[in-house]
Amino acid sequence: MDSIPVLYGWKCTKGVLFLWNIFLENKKISCYQREMYGRIGSSKSKGDNSMAMMTVYHGGYMPVEKPEIRVGRNTKDFGNGFYCTVIKEQAQRWARRYDKKNVSIYDVQFRQNLCIKEFKDMSDEWLDFIIACRSGESHDYDIVIGAMADDQIYNYVSDYMAGTITREQFWVLAKFKYPTHQITFCTETALECLTYRGYEEVTTQ
């Protein structure tokens, strides 16, 4: 059995380590975020086995003080859930799809009893998981973390599902022009990890 990595004295799940590495490698994060993620695990709460604290963003047409899981008609990359990202600019792009544009901000404190699935890169496993979720299949994870299939990438996914292109052709086409990331809170237990901090209005560009 693999040992659990330790950062600054606290044991971390693979999902937490993945998010931590994404932020330290992303040149767009703020100095405040770098300092915050450098102290990962420093805000452990007593009695609930909490681990790392970090910030995520949700872009939409209104502030979401109390996140919830809504079952929509359209299937999504990682199934039903509350979708956020650690990349603020990406959340702003999500918000700009609406007339009213807001980015809600949350602190996330992960807990050891969560079932977390994370994809470190765009792999065959990632692609197959998205296809399954987009086809309406469910899963048992509390949180799923990985790259996002944006509109252009999903067109390639649809072509692959329809047999128009091969898997090899999909990977040739599926190259992001900028990094993407999404973290999906798929259960009520996962939503309890979120603490609402407020929101920012997004300007039109």
Distance (Å, whole) CA 60 – CA 92? 8
For a pLDDT cut of 70, what percent of the chain falls above it? Answer: 73
170 belongs to a structural domain:
no
Closest CA to 52 of 8, 116, 115: 8
What is the DSSP annotation of 89-131?
A: HHHHHHHTTSSS-EEEEEEEEEETT--EEE-SSS-HHHHHHHH
Counted domains in the chain: 1
Candidate from 97-111, 129-143, 166-180 with smallest mean pLDDT: 166-180
**Between these two residues, 112 and 160, which has the higher pLDDT value?**
160
On average, the pLDDT of the chain sits at 78
65 belongs to a structural domain:
yes
Chain centroid to CA 167:
24
Q: Check: CB of residue 136 under 8 Å from CB of residue 173.
A: no
92 belongs to a structural domain:
yes
- What sign for the dihedral angle of Cα 114, 187, 108, 55? positive
pLDDT digits (tens, 9 = 90+) for 113-128: 899 999 998 899 999 9
168 belongs to a structural domain:
no
Domain that holds residue 37: 6-118+139-145+179-201
> Which pTM was predicted?
0.72
> What is the Cα Rg of the chain in Å?
17
pLDDT of residue 152: 78
pLDDT digits (tens, 9 = 90+) for 98-116: 999 999 999 999 988 899 9
Q: Check: CB of residue 159 under 8 Å from CB of residue 101.
A: no
pLDDT digits (tens, 9 = 90+) for 68-80: 998 877 788 999 9
